[in-house]
Structure 1
């Protein structure tokens, strides 16, 4: 079971970094199972072929393997790259270069998109590179070792092109909220050392606008430690600036991170002595960040970290502690309720309570259920309005103590979903 969880979580990270990933071989036709997800020939459209360079395109959901064959040339004239999007929507496609000989991409320029006899439309276009990561040890049998497309770094030219290998470009169209409905046309100019190809583009804008608020709730881990390590960031101002770029990217893709407030924490301090010791909770740093990312960027959820809560995983667990008082003592219970009830009241007053959730224990085993239930009761007693999330499938021993279930997909059935919804 734990091995399966690791596989699923790895897949989820891949999904969010690449927008969408196709499912494993289950349900694929025989040809797709033989070729694997990287060589699935069902997606893709031929665009052009010169003596030294082939160009084709596909939607953003396909994983394009380096060695995947180019789609066959259609009868008659090839169609344009077609994109359909609502006002306020981001929509990606992939334009793939496949040279016959080694070469270099020198220029990738998108012309303004226009309707006939009109000025340029408020549609922006961004071109990124689809980069590859070598997987030497697959998580499970659903994939094979090899080079997988995943990172989407900004396109930096010149870009090397290798003979017989696909090099996708990730083209993201963003339709402004004031755009007119209708069809817009432009072109993508690709200049290489193997020749120049002009790719026709067509964008259809639907006659409706996406709401500012994202109603599909999400929560994806985004750790500042990994960001700082990867980018070699040392100065506090650099760390904060780069973190905000990640948050902005999440907001553009309507994905909510666990935390937006790593550098704007809720300050919890305890003052006084003995039974007069009280919590002082300061939201001076937190509130501006919450206004920006919850109210303006419309993140749909965030994880509320609990000081002194304790926690664990199926490997091990540990008791909480506050100001030297161990979990289970009257002093701990009083201080815990004091600070957490203040946070609950503040979040409710600012309209943010419905977006907050706690996540303090990961993937419990049955041996951990009693410990988890005790912790969930403690949270509910101190702040009943704060929702409690648990990465576990529903189990009768846990019923009534979990507000948000995060279980393995195969464990969910329509009847179980109905029961949990009725229970709140």
Structure 2
């Protein structure tokens, strides 16, 4: 049991904002040059829960000078969850990667929230190897399909890198287990000594108590993305498997492992039992058949998942938006961002709202996909940096002026009335801000929320932040930065006021982390454990540049802001 005899006690004023606690080391802690991946650990006990705890890792050069600006120099901001440390000592461990110019680090401990009391002890930094984060293989060697070609299968939770060698285990066939309307994945891995051109894949109907049609199967070659800079201590440099390629055939390079991502989607109503079929590979002077076994359970998945997912499409090329929406539907998402259909113009200081396009937008982008979540347009006005409108105006009106209040409320009422008339108001989320950081921003949120509720009493106001007591009677959906802002006490207060809890964890966008698939698989179960009802992916296609060549679109991780890629020709 950790005694904490040397612990530092951190308290916050009964009322107030962020307090920078004096835990900064006076001189940088030197980092060894032979490692760029580190773990930081500390012992912590929370006596009175704050809104948030943050461990800031600032960087210094090899002469001890602090490196700035932090956005370019890769400072790390680690936010431990609060709930596990309430009333008892526990060890917290996190990882960070140091950029090449880092010679040392300075640690600072932040506590945000009035009346907080936190005990901290025994902070240490150690080098670590990313190999410890490799997901254990579950696959098995298959018979060589041709001389000089090794073949094996692997599960979907392990990234198969081009340097991978086949496993020693043999004799286990490919077996998949799935319910109706469930998708199950297996990877087929090929490693030839010489190039094999024009390799393609086909399937046959699976026979059993019924028939699993060949159309239930799909295969995609897994592409590689160049990772030149680590952004995670878990990360691996070099060619990294991530995109699923649409190409029907591919040349297998010599001396490298190529993964084929095989997806089975069991149709609803498929009879329970065991099915068998074969996957056929064909290429230049190359052919092979791979047996596949499937067990179908005697039930179908619910048509709508209990965990609702909003996944926002920010960019798609002209003519491809329907394919993006269909992809979200195929992955059982509950909705996306904006659906359009609402226009605003200004005439003599008054706003004219045009909702005539709303029925077409609903019929085109909502109902065909069964979506039940979407953003109301033109009310999302700020984020952690402040107002989006740096000129301080909305539709030409000064923010928070009497004229703004009048026209903003009028706009909300007209849109709310139109959504109600179309029978979709219950699906609309009224997101007014993203991650408000201080008292001023929270005051803005309260002002905007009161205007929305005044205009549309049955609106669902949505806010991405930990629970804020001043807003607890106004917010209907708290989307929590996970897990740092969750506590059982605040969650119960929100639920007592009729609110739902959603969550998001942006670190899960990491494409270069070997265990990222495992972390993503575990994420919904973690949310279920705490009765979280929804999850947000802030963007699935936010491409500031070309993600095929620049994976670090949004720090702090490679892969930030996108799960979908433009087509390889960058046109779709």
Q: What TM-score comes out, normalization by structure 2 length?
A: 0.59
| CA spacing shift, 1:214–1:55, aligned 2, 3 Å | same
Equivalent residue, structure 2, for 1:297:
369
Q: Distance in 1 between matches of 2:135 and 2:259?
A: 15
Q: Distance in 2 between matches of 1:220 and 1:5?
A: 25
Counting only pairs closer than 5 Å after superposition, residues 143-158 of structure 1 correspond to structure 2 as 143-157=235-249
Contact kept? 2:204, 2:213, Cα under 8 Å: no
Counting only pairs closer than 5 Å after superposition, residues 378-417 of structure 1 correspond to structure 2 as 378-403=451-476, 404-417=478-491
CA RMSD of aligned residues (A): 3.2
Q: Distance in 1 between matches of 2:131 and 2:143?
A: 24
- How far did 1:296 drift? 3.6
- How far did 1:242 drift? 0.6
- How far did 1:385 drift? 2.3
1:249 corresponds to 2:249: no
Residues 40-87 of structure 1, C-alpha deviation per residue, up to 9 Å, x if partnerless? 34332222235411112223232222222322233xxx2332222222
Q: Distance in 2 between matches of 1:421 and 1:208?
A: 33
Q: Distance in 1 between matches of 2:95 and 2:309?
A: 26
* Larger proportion of strand: 2
Structure 2 residue matching 1:129: 3-state secondary structure: strand
1:328 corresponds to 2:424: no
Structure 2 residue matching 1:218: 3-state secondary structure: strand
1:176 corresponds to 2:267: yes
Structure 2 residue matching 1:409: 3-state secondary structure: coil
Count of matched residue pairs: 378
Q: Distance in 1 between matches of 2:215 and 2:272?
A: 12
| CA spacing shift, 1:397–1:103, aligned 2, 3 Å | same
| CA spacing shift, 1:4–1:294, aligned 2, 3 Å | farther
Equivalent residue, structure 2, for 1:342:
414
| CA spacing shift, 1:270–1:6, aligned 2, 3 Å | farther
Equivalent residue, structure 1, for 2:355:
282
Residues 290-317 of structure 1, C-alpha deviation per residue, up to 9 Å, x if partnerless? 235433422231111225x632432665
Residues 373-398 of structure 1, C-alpha deviation per residue, up to 9 Å, x if partnerless? 22222222222322222222224344
Q: Distance in 1 between matches of 2:314 and 2:393?
A: 24
1:70 corresponds to 2:148: no
Contact kept? 1:122, 1:178, Cα under 8 Å: no
Unaligned runs of 5+ in 1: 9-23, 27-31, 229-238
| CA spacing shift, 1:378–1:400, aligned 2, 3 Å | same
Q: Distance in 2 between matches of 1:100 and 1:418?
A: 60
Return the match for 2:493 from 392, 395, 419: 419
More off after superposition, 146-155 vs 312-321? 312-321
Equivalent residue, structure 2, for 1:40:
135
- How far did 1:137 drift? 1.8
The structure showing larger relative contact order (alpha-carbon pairs under 8 Å, at least 6 residues apart) is 2
1:267 corresponds to 2:339: no
Q: Distance in 2 between matches of 1:352 and 1:60?
A: 37
Counting only pairs closer than 5 Å after superposition, residues 189-228 of structure 1 correspond to structure 2 as 189-193=280-284, 195-224=286-315, 227-228=316-317
Contact kept? 1:302, 1:357, Cα under 8 Å: yes
Residues 302-345 of structure 1, C-alpha deviation per residue, up to 9 Å, x if partnerless? 111225x6324326654764554323333322222222112222
Equivalent residue, structure 1, for 2:559:
none
Q: Distance in 2 between matches of 1:132 and 1:7?
A: 31
Equivalent residue, structure 1, for 2:437:
365
